[in-house]
Chain A
Amino acid sequence: MARLIKSYIATALFLLLLLSLWEVGVHLFHVPFYILPAPSRILLVFFTSLPLLFSHGAVTLLEIGLGMFLGVSGGITLALIIFYSPFLESALYPFIITSQMIPVFAIAPLLVIWFGYGLWSKATVAALIVFFPIVVNTVDGLRSVNSETIDLLHSLRAKERQIFWYVRLPASLPSIFSGLKLGVTLSVVGATIGEWIGARKGLGFLMIQSNAMLRIDLVFASILTLSLVGLLLFATVRIIELRLLQWRRPRRKPKTSGGNH
Chain B
Amino acid sequence: MRRVILIGVMLILTPFLVGNSSPALRVMLDFFATPNHVPLFVAAEQGFFMDEGIETDILIPANPSDPLKLAAARTVEVALTPQINFIIARSAGLPLISIGTLIQTPLGGLLSLKEYGVEKLADLRGLRIGYSLAPLEPVLWQTMLASVGVTSDDFQLVNVGFNTVLSLLSHNVDAIGAFRNFEVPQVALLGHEPVFFPQEDYGVPDTCEIILVTNPQLIKERPETLRAFIAGLARGITFTKQHPHDALEIFLHANPELDDALNRQAYEITLPFYADEAGNDRAEEWEKMQAYLFKNGVIKDVCPLDQLYTDQFLTDS
A interface, CB within 8 angstroms of B: 14-15, 18, 21-22, 25-26, 29, 31-36, 109, 112-113, 116-117, 196-200, 205, 208-209, 211-216, 223, 227, 260-261
Contacts and interface: CB of A to CB of B under 8 A. Distances in A.
B224 to A, nearest CB: 26
B72 A113 contact: no
B170 interface: yes
Interface of B: 1, 3-4, 7-8, 10-11, 14-15, 17-18, 63-65, 68-69, 72-73, 88-89, 92-94, 133-136, 158-161, 163, 166-167, 170, 172
A69 B231 CA distance: 61
A227 B18 CA distance: 28
A18 B8 contact: yes
Given A14-B4, A32-B73, A260-B1, 17 more contacts: A21-B8, A32-B18, A32-B94, A34-B72, A34-B93, A112-B160, A113-B170, A117-B159, A197-B163, A198-B158, A198-B159, A198-B167, A199-B159, A199-B161, A214-B88, A214-B94, A216-B69
Contacts of A199: 159, 161
Do most interface residues of chain A lie in helix, strand or loop, or is the interface mixed? helix
A119 B167 CA distance: 16
A198 B133 CA distance: 10
A22 B7 contact: yes
A31 B14 contact: yes
Q: Which 4 A-B pairs have the closest CB atoms?
A: A198-B161, A214-B92, A197-B161, A29-B15
Nearest to B134: A209
Given A117-B172, A214-B92, A261-B1, A112 B68 contact: no
A212 B133 contact: yes
A151 B76 CA distance: 71
Contacts of B163: 109, 112-113, 197-198
A31 B11 CA distance: 9
Contacts of A113: 163, 166-167, 170, 172
A18 B153 CA distance: 49
Contacts of B10: 36
Nearest to B160: A198
Contacts of A215: 92
B31 to A, nearest CB: 13
Contacts of B161: 109, 112, 196-199
Contact of A34 (B11, B15, B94): B94
A106 to B, nearest CB: 12
Nearest to A212: B133
29 contacts: A14-B4, A21-B11, A22-B11, A25-B14, A31-B14, A32-B18, A32-B94, A35-B14, A112-B161, A113-B163, A117-B160, A196-B161, A198-B158, A198-B167, A200-B158, A205-B159, A209-B133, A209-B134, A213-B92, A213-B135, A214-B65, A214-B69, A214-B88, A214-B89, A214-B92, A223-B3, A227-B3, A260-B1, A261-B1
B14 A213 contact: no
